[in-house]
């Protein structure tokens, strides 16, 4: 049981390039989330999904797109990377229910130069 797996773990992009971050969970969780964390800050919610085929915006959605075509996968896309998107990205998943705990991946460290 791998839990929540993020791919890749590290990436360096040039300004204007695009990329997709993959989050995969094997716990059959309904809810999935993408957060970003900047140095010395807490996590900020980018987008989330409450089920296959559904997505919603979080606190800081600009510059990102997401897709949840399969229940186990949640993709985060950067169409045209900017230096301001340099951050550590965390994915999380939760099962349905009022007080279920969230399980987090180990993070993707992205640098945009």
Partner 1 sequence: DAKTTQPPSMDCAEGRAANLPCNHSTISGNEYVYWYRQIHSQGPQYIIHGLKNNETNEMASLIITEDRKSSTLILPHATLRDTAVYYCIVRPYDLSGNTPLVFGKGTRLSVIA
Spatial CB neighbours of 14, under 8 Å, sequence gap ≥ 6: 81, 112, 113
Our finding on whether 111 is near partner 1 (CB under 8 A) is: no
Spatial CB neighbours of 39, under 8 Å, sequence gap ≥ 6: none
Our finding on whether 40 is near partner 1 (CB under 8 A) is: yes
Task: Pick the binder of partner 1 from 48, 74, 87, 112 (CB under 8 A).
Answer: 48
Site for partner 1 in 64-83 (CB under 8 A): none
CB of 80 to partner 1, least distance (A): 26
Our finding on whether 28 is near partner 1 (CB under 8 A) is: no
Tokens of 44: 């900020």
CB of 65 to partner 1, least distance (A): 18
Our finding on whether 31 is near partner 1 (CB under 8 A) is: yes
Our finding on whether 4 is near partner 1 (CB under 8 A) is: yes
Instruction: Kindly list the distances between the CA atom of residue 48 and the CA atoms of 13, 32, 37, 110, in Å, as whole numbers in the listed order.
Output: 24, 6, 15, 19
Instruction: Kindly list the distances between the CA atom of residue 29 and the CA atoms of 19, 48, 52, 69, 84, in Å, as whole numbers in the listed order.
Output: 25, 13, 10, 14, 31
Give the footprint of partner 1 on this chain (CB under 8 A): 4, 31, 33, 35, 40-45, 48, 50, 58-59, 88, 90, 92, 94, 96-107
């Amino acid at each position: 049981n791998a839990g929540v797996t993020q791919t890749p773990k590290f990436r360096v992009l040039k300004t204007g390039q695009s990329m997709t971050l993959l989050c995969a969970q094997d716990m059959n969780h309904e809810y999935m989330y993408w957060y970003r964390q900047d140095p010395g800050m807490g996590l900020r919610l980018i987008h989330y999904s409450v089920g296959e085929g559904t997505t919603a915006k979080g606190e800081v959605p600009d510059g990102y797109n997401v897709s949840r075509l399969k229940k186990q996968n949640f993709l985060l896309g950067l169409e045209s990377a900017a230096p301001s998107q340099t951050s550590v990205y965390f994915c999380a998943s939760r099962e349905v229910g009022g007080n279920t705990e969230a399980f987090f991946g180990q993070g993707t460290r992205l640098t945009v130069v």
